[in-house]
């Protein structure tokens, strides 16, 4: 069986990464080839956002020390980790979709190599600001810091595919699911 692919979705906070991934999950449901990666995050489940595996700092450290994370990083005061079983999934030819981080892309490239496809989900600054404020998870100064960071990483140069999510979610989600399907058909 051929090696699989991992599509890592990155972009600034408020761009709609989780929503685009959820849309693709619904479109790809029923096909066992695809798997949405559930990240370990040191954030309570009740905090909202993506469907993740909540862990405290001690448990996260244990996972990392035991080699149960393919990679991990820290951002916004939280720790994030991608489960090590993703490596086995790729060897089995599965197609993975993971929520990533632009700052962690060098680690993703090192771990996954040519199995990695980077998808950037972005939106204009005004849209990002409205979405971050609507979430109600952060103070205004934290939102401003996130918005300032959103343009610092030269986003368009890091991606294999760019989605501007500034209209209906279905449009962005359809673009993403279509990209996943077409990338696999071309392989």
Annotated binding site for ATP: 11-18
In whole angstroms, give the CA distance from residue 63 to residue 85: 12
Token pair for 52? 């993740």
Query: Which residues lie below 8 Å from residue 159, measured CB to CB, with a gap of 6+?
Result: 10, 118, 119, 120
| Helices (H) then strands (E): counts for the chain | 7, 9
Compute CA distances 11 → 57, 123, 124, whole Å.
25, 9, 12
Q: How is residue 32 annotated by DSSP?
A: T
Known binding-site residue numbers = 11-18
Torsion over CA: 143, 148, 171, 9 (sign): negative
């Amino acid at each position: 069986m051929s090696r699989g692919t991992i599509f890592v979705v990155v972009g600034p906070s408020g761009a709609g990464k989780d929503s685009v991934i959820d849309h693709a999950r619904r479109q790809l449901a029923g096909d066992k080839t695809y798997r949405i990666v559930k990240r370990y995050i040191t954030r309570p489940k009740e905090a909202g956002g993506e469907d993740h595996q909540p862990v405290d700092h001690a448990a996260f450290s244990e996972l990392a020390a035991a080699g149960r994370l393919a990679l991990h990083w820290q951002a916004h005061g939280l720790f994030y980790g991608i489960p090590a079983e993703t490596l086995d999934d790729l060897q089995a030819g599965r197609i993975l979709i993971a929520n990533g981080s632009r700052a962690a892309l060098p680690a993703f490239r090192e771990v996954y190599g040519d199995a990695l496809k980077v998808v950037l989900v972005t939106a204009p600054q005004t849209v990002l600001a409205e979405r971050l404020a609507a979430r109600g998870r952060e103070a205004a100064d934290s939102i401003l810091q996130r918005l300032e960071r959103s343009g610092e990483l030269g986003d368009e140069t890091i991606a294999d595919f760019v989605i501007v999510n500034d209209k209906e979610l279905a449009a962005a989600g359809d673009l993403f699911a279509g990209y996943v399907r077409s990338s696999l058909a071309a392989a």
